[in-house]
Amino acid sequence: MKRKKNKEGIEESKYRLIQLFKKHPKTGFTYKSVCKRIGMKGPAKPKVVGMMNALEKEGVIYRTKGNRFFLVRKKGEEERPQDKDQIVTGIVDLTAKGSAYIVTDDIAEDVFVPQRSLGRAFDGDEVSVRIVPKRRTKVEGEVVEVLKRRQSEFVGIMDISKKHAFFIPDKTGITVHFFIPKEKLGKAKNGDKVIVKIVDWPEHVKSPYGSIIRVLGKPGENEVEMVSILVENGFDMEFPKKVLAQAQALSMDIPNKVIAERNDYRAHPTFTIDPLTAKDFDDALSIFKKENGNWEVGVHIADVTHYIIPDSKLDREAYFRATSVYLVDRVAPMFPEKISNGICSLRPHEDKLTFSALFEINPEGEVLSVDFCRAVIHSDRRFTYEEAQEVIETGEGDFVEEIQALNHLAGILRKKKFAEGAITFDKPETKFVLDETGHPIDVYIKERKDAHLLVEDFMLLANKAVAQYFTNWKDGKKKAPGIYRVHDSPNMEKLEQFGELVRKFGHKLHLGTPKMIAESLNKLLKKVKGKPEQSMVETLAVRSMAKAIYTTENIGHYGLAFEDYTHFTSPIRRYPDVLVHRQLQAMLDGKPDVDRDGIEEKLQHSSIQEKNAARAERESVKYKQVEYLADRLGEEYEGVISGVQRYGIFVELDGNGCEGLLRTEGLGREKFIYDEDRFALIGMSSGLKYQLGDKVKVIIAATNLETRTIDFELAVEREKSKRK
């Protein structure tokens, strides 16, 4: 019976394999990509290899010299790709200009695809791409087929006439309009902003067919635009009813039996330190002095996995979202509010379940030991960052001894981190003061002080300790995958370009070993602080770095100078932290999850969603900046030139970080030429120069909430003084 079951399983897999090739006749698959497609993991992989080899012998598929397999076509069908043709699969990463890079694991470099060769692919789609003859220094390709759409729902404006109805997507890079049949219009009216689902795109038809699933309202309204930003990036405020029902069924009470099974830290001085508006308290700190004179510091993290069962509706929804999204005026949480702001939030004066990291640290700041355990805590006080900072600065207030001790130890940890090569990226954060309707009445640059750094340093300590446990864990000969947050070494070509740019402003960047680069970057960032070019240098420095991602392959974290690093401290708002909690407990129990491929797939999804969330958050900030300046048309501001293009200069305003465009025609009557090497626009007759990092005075000329753009005019005083 067992043999028959295996045979049936193989036949079913073989059928799925053949259907995969038939569905994607133009795509060349590797063994690895086939395994991913049909869901064969771990020990099942050799079966896939065997089946593909068998299908090759049967003449169903054929192999190219590059070890890619294609469907064999019948006589009269389109010719087979030649061996010289190379087809790779990857994810579309659209640029601002409309072209794209295909991020792929199949070859060493990402593949550049010009806009004309993108076919029907949108940003974030998984596609197969044919490599074309090399042009210049880039690997270039053309999209052969869209394998999987990143999103099926889009936000845009309805254009309805008597004869037809079309949907115009808001998203840049989507140049086609969707045809909406009259019976799919619902209650939408001409000019409404709506959410449309793509339902079909027949061959040889220019426009995809769509169906309206939700009418948002009129463009430019705050509620409409905020929801639009979320949906455009793959998120929503609303949860499915079954997910909400599962959350509501959870009890706020903690049974005595559960408490009895845990370490009880309710008597230890414990508190949270968070932003004023925070409601989801992931982490708390405790500290007390041991009899030997050392400190025991507890980093207590909300025990989300106690409540969230793997593969439950709550778990699947959290995985799909992968992160909470923090817009200016709202949060789209990863878990329903009862969990994120209630059951799991470490609110003051309530018993709460945690997964805790306990550190013994001597007065000199040396970490002597760490233990992990499931615990129960009772937060004595909820501090805002401002309240904790006042305790640090004045030496007075609640838990003054504990906060001062934590601040002292955090300072030692921070100093050691930078001595080992960590980079000080401290890009200012734009914050808003909103009225009761959500309208911005003030905008300012948030300053990070010791209270912020204190919390950050102990979260880093806990994250690092968990990652080290993953790396060192072994049970006899058995090894299990850890879950890491990694940051690759910077791209030397990008760093050289960055070094060339800052040299034009009188600064030097020394390139050598990774540690030398980090030290030089830190000196540079410290040197530009308070100077006109500060924002520009900080922004370009970040862009020259690799992007941090989640993976099971530990290559270390370059920016933090840690050999091992993960995310353990925010399971309410980050799904990788949920996975880390589960794997850590499984290792502590000696029964780790060994499905590396399954974990890796979830981490890749989380990295993509993290990127989407960051984009949504930036767009909400931009919207509120436009809304803020819309009330200040005609007012004059000082700013710094943050970008230079042929068509004009971008200016970032001092004090609030709002950025807008001053077009070339607004610089005066003469013609300006674009000097790409010097990042400048130069007047042909006067020699008047507008260069990256220059200070300028501008007037708010126009704003557009729908396009989220700000237009400036040059303040007359500066132009006159320059021309004298």
Query: Is pLDDT above 80 for 37?
Result: no
**What tokens were used for 501?**
């740019």
Q: How far apart are CA 170 and CA 186, in angstroms?
A: 20
Q: What element of type H or E holds 590?
A: none
Model confidence at 134: pLDDT above 70: no
- The pLDDT value recorded for residue 5 is 38
Residue-level pLDDT at 508: 85
Residue 368, CB half-sphere, CA atoms under 13 Å: how many? 13
pLDDT in tens, 457-494: 999 999 999 999 999 998 766 789 999 999 988 877 77
Q: Which of 465, 297, 291, 453 is nearest to 365 (CA)?
A: 297
Of the pLDDT bands very low, low, confident and very high (cuts 50, 70, 90), residue 498 is confident
> Is residue 326's pLDDT more than 70?
yes
Percent of the chain with pLDDT over 70: 92
9-28 average pLDDT score: 73
Query: Which H helix or E strand runs over 518?
Result: helix 514-527
Q: Please, what is the angle between helix 400-419 and helix 450-472, to 10°?
A: 60
395-444 residue pLDDT tens: 999 999 999 999 999 999 999 999 888 988 777 788 999 998 889 999 98
Q: Helices (DSSP H) in 24-66: which residue ranges?
A: 31-38, 45-57
**8-state DSSP, 82:** P
Same fold, 2-71 and 87-148: no
CATH code, residues 87-148: 2.40.50.140
* Residue 212 to residue 333: CA distance in whole angstroms: 25
| Mean pLDDT computed over 331-352 | 96
Q: Are strands 209-217 and 165-169 parallel, antiparallel or unpaired?
A: unpaired
Q: Are strands 209-217 and 270-274 parallel, antiparallel or unpaired?
A: unpaired
Q: 207-246 pLDDT, tens per residue? A: 999 999 999 999 888 889 899 999 988 898 899 999 999 9
Whether residue 314 is predicted with pLDDT greater than 70 in this model: the reply is yes
Per-chain mean pLDDT for the chain: 88
Statement: 153-219 belongs to CATH 2.40.50.700:
yes
Averaged pLDDT for residues 363-392: 96
Instruction: Name the phi and psi angles at 236, rounded to 5.
Output: -160, 155
CA distance 549 to 504: 32
Are 68 and 101 in contact by the 8 Å Cβ rule? The answer is no
Q: Are 157 and 188 in contact (CB under 8 A)?
A: no
The predicted model gives 629-642 an average pLDDT of 93
Report helix, strand or coil for 359: strand
Strands (E), 347-491: 351-361, 367-378, 381-384, 429-434, 440-446, 484-486
pLDDT at 54: 85
Average pLDDT (82-108) is 78
pLDDT in tens, 637-693: 999 998 899 999 999 998 888 999 999 988 888 899 998 877 889 998 888 999 888
When pLDDT is averaged across residues 109-114 and rounded to a whole number, the result is: 87
pLDDT at 217: 92
Q: What's the confidence (pLDDT) of residue 298? A: 98
Residue ranges per domain, the chain?
2-71, 87-148, 153-219, 241-488+550-618, 492-545, 632-723
Dihedrals phi, psi of 21, to nearest 5 degrees: -65, -35
Confidence of residue 284 (pLDDT cuts 50, 70, 90): very high
Q: Is the model's pLDDT at 77 over the cut of 60?
A: no
Long-range contacts of 629-637 (CB under 8 A, 24+ apart): 629/658, 629/660, 629/700, 629/703, 629/710, 630/703, 630/705, 632/700, 633/700, 633/701, 633/702, 633/703, 634/699, 634/700, 635/699, 635/700, 636/697, 636/698, 636/699, 636/715, 637/697, 637/698, 637/699, 637/700
**Domain covering 2-71, topology:** Arc Repressor Mutant, subunit A (1.10.10)
**Beta-bridge partner residues of 689:** 682
Confidence of residue 4 (pLDDT cuts 50, 70, 90): very low
**Element (H or E) spanning 454, and its range?**
helix 450-472
| DSSP notation for 402-417 | HHHHHHHHHHHHHHHH
Q: Which CATH number fits domain 632-723: 1.10.3720.10, 2.40.50.140, 1.10.10.60, 3.40.50.2300?
A: 2.40.50.140
What are the φ/ψ torsions at residue 681 (nearest 5 degrees)? -110, 130
DSSP, collapsed to helix, strand or coil, labels residue 146 as strand
Amino acid 157: pLDDT: 94
Residue 45: the pLDDT is: 66
pLDDT at 318 over 90: yes
Element (H, E) at 456: helix 450-472
Nearest Cα to 661, choosing from 715, 703, 618, 633? 703
Q: What percent of the chain has pLDDT over 90?
A: 55
The Cα–Cα gap between 141 and 99 comes to 11
